[in-house]
Amino acid sequence: MTQAMEPMSSVDTAWLHMDQDENHMMITGVLVLDRPLDPGMFKKLLVERLLHFDRFRQKVVEHNGKAYWQNDPHFHLDNHVHRIGLPEPAGQAELEELVADLASESLDFHHPLWQFHLVDRYEDGAALISRIHHCIADGLALVQVLMSLADAAGDPPAPELDPLRETSLLERLSRPLRQVAQAGAHLGHNLISEGMDLARHPAKVRQWAEQAEHIARELVGLGLLPRDPQTRLHAPLGGRKRIAWAQPLELAAVKETAHQLGGTVNDVLMSCAAGALRNYLTEADTIPGSEIHVAVPFNLRSRDQTVSTLGNQFGLVIVALPVNEADVLKRYQQVRAAMTDLKNSVQPQVTFGLLDLLGKGPVSLEKSALDMLSDKASLVMTNVPGPASVLSIAGARILQPLVWVPQSGHLGVGFSILSYAGSVQFGVIADSQMVADPGKVTRYFEESFCELRDHAFRRQ
C-alpha cells in the first residue's frame, strides 16, 4: 500500500523547483564549538528535539506534476549525521573549504532533505555543519529550530520530550508559552478574506481600495526596475561555491555607531555591505555608474511568534546599495533613506504572493519569472536575529554561528548577517565564477565598518 502523501504548499513547492545544478536550494549553517560533540549524545538530541517536526522524517515525492511530503520508510539517522575531519592545520581556511564543498553538493532526494556533519577538530575546538533544503522552511524558522537543539551555556540538557504531549517543542522551550498566530502569510488569502468582509463592513471598502492601489504600485515598480548594471557579480554560474566569514563585530560598537549617525543597526550593516562591495568591485575597475540592488528576505511572521510549524513565510524586498558613491557618509545616508522607504512597503507580501502563484504553475513559468526577478538584483543578503546569550549544544559551547541562504535564478552571491550573544557575524557565500576569494569581501566589510565608525565619531 502506498504511504500517505501530504501535499506540499505552493510556496514551498516554488522553492523546491528552484533547485538547479549550479544553485542548490540549501540553507547552509556552521556552528563553531569549544569542544567535539559526542555523536551518541547529538543523535539523542536530534531524536528528542529535531524529529519532533515531521518534515525531518519525510522525503519529497512528485506525482502528476505536484509535490508531496511522504514518510521515508528507510529513515535512519546514519543517513543524516556524518563525522568528517579537516586536513592540517585544521583552521578557518580548511573549514571554509569543507563548507564550500558541501554547499556545492546536492542533498540526497531519496531521503529527507537535511544533513549534519560533525567536525571533530577545528582550531582549539570543533564545528558542526548543517545543510537543510529551503523547501522545508525559511531561514528564520530554521535558525529557531537549530537553536532549539541548544541550551543555555552551563545548563544541563533539557529533559526528554513527553511523547504523550502534543505541544510543540519550541512552545515548550519558550517560557511563558505564547499563542501562535498566523502573521500575514498569504497575500491572496488576505485579500480574499478582506473582500468577503466588505459586505459586513462597508467602511473597509476605501481602506481595501487604498491597499490594492499600493500593491499595484509595488508590482508595477518591481516590473519597471531596470536590470542591474553588468559587473562580475553577473558572471555565468559555475556551480562551485566559495565561503568565508569575518571576525565577529561587537554589537555594542555597531549600536553606538548607529546612534551617532541617527540611524539603526541595519542601516549601519547594510552600509558596510555596500562599502565592501564597492571595494571588491574596484579591484576589477568595474564600479558601475549607478547603484546595484540586493534581494533581502523579509520575515512575515510576528516578531515574537514561536515557530510551531515549518514552511516558508517570508517575502523579498529589493534594496538599493549605492556602491557608486565614494563618500562613506553619503553612502550611509543613501542606504538609510532606502531602508526607511521600505518600512511601509508591501513588497514582501507581493513577492510572497508571486511565489505562491508560481508554485502552482508549471516549472517553465517559474524559471522565466525567477530569471526576470534575479535580473533586478546582484546578490541576496540576509539579516537574522539570533540568541542574545551564549548557548551550548550537547555540552559543547557555541562560539560562533553562521548561516547562509541559497541564491536563486542566476544570482550567485549571498551575504549573511547573524547576531549572537552580543556580537554580529558576517559571512559570504559565492559562486567561484563571481567571487573567487570571498575572504577579500569579508575583510572589506570589517574595514568598511571601521571607516564608518571613525567618520561617525569624528563628526561629534
Residues 313 and 148: beta-carbon distance below 8 Å: no
Q: What is the CA radius of gyration of the chain?
A: 22
C-alpha to C-alpha distances, 351 to 147, 192, 242, 357, 370, nearest whole angstrom: 28, 17, 28, 10, 11
Q: How far apart are CA 390 and CA 126, in angstroms?
A: 16
pLDDT given for residue 183 in this prediction? 26
pLDDT of residue 153: 76
**Does residue 317 share a domain with residue 453?**
yes
| pLDDT at residue 64, as a whole number | 84
What is the predicted pLDDT for the residue at 338?
85
**pTM strictly above 0.85:** no
Same domain, 146 and 240: no
User: Can you spell out the DSSP letters for 387-449?
Assistant: -SS-EEETTEEEEEEEEE----TT--EEEEEEEETTEEEEEEEEETTT-S-HHHHHHHHHHHH
Among 157, 182, 201, which residue terminates a domain? 157
Check whether residue 139 and residue 12 sit in a common domain.
Answer: yes
Q: How far apart are CA 411 and CA 433, in angstroms?
A: 11
Q: Same domain for 280 and 420?
A: yes
| pLDDT for residue 335 | 93
Burial of 110 (0-12, 13-18, 19+ CB in 10 A): exposed
Determine the 3-state secondary structure of 268 from DSSP: helix
Q: Which residues, other chains included, contact 182 with Cβ-Cβ below 8 Å and sequence gap of 6+? A: none
User: Do 133 and 239 lie in a common domain?
Assistant: no
The β-bridge relationship of strands 26-33 and 125-133 is antiparallel
CATH code for the domain in which residue 245 is found: 3.30.559.30
CA dihedral (230, 358, 67, 71) positive or negative: positive
Domain closes at, from 157, 179, 212: 157
Q: Is there a single domain that holds both residue 150 and residue 270? A: no
User: Is the same domain home to 429 and 345?
Assistant: yes
CB 69, CB 111: distance < 8 Å = no
Are residues 141 and 242 located together in one domain of the fold?
Answer: no
Residue 314, domain member (yes or no): yes
Structural domain count, the chain: 2
**Contacts for 433 with CB less than 8 Å, ≥ 6 apart:** 235, 236, 237, 238, 240, 412
CB-CB contact of 91 with 59 (8 Å): no
CATH number for 68: 3.30.559.10
User: CB of 433 within 8 A of CB of 238?
Assistant: yes
Q: Same domain for 443 and 297?
A: yes
CA-wise closest residue to 309 among 133, 121, 154, 170: 170
Task: Give the integer Cα–Cα distance in Å for 422 and 25.
Answer: 30
Residue 362 lies in a domain: yes
- Domain assignment present for residue 255? The answer is yes
CA dihedral in degrees (405, 446, 98, 311; nearest 10)?
-10
Question: Residue 124: inside a domain, yes or no?
Answer: yes
Contacts of 367 (CB under 8 A, 6+ apart): none
One domain for residues 151 and 235: no
Low-confidence ranges of the chain (pLDDT < 50): 1, 156, 158-220, 222, 224, 300-301, 303, 307, 314, 346-360, 365-366
DSSP for 92-126 reads: HHHHHHHHHHHHTS---TTS-SEEEEEEEEETTEE
Among residues 157, 175, 210, the one where a domain terminates is: 157
Residue 425 covered by a domain: yes
pLDDT at 189: 29
Q: What is the mean pLDDT of the chain?
A: 77
Structure-block grid coordinates of residue 268? 549601519
With respect to residue 42, please indicate whether it lies within any of the assigned structural domains: yes
Which residue from 375, 381, 376, 418 is spatially nearest to 276, judged by alpha carbons? 381
- Pull the grid cell for residue 347: 513588497
Q: Which domain holds residue 54?
A: 5-157
Q: Are residues 244 and 127 part of one domain?
A: no
Angle, vertex CA 359, rays to CA 27 and CA 56, nearest 5:
40
Is 34 inside a domain boundary? yes
Inside any domain, residue 335: yes
| 139 vs 228: CA distance, rounded Å | 25
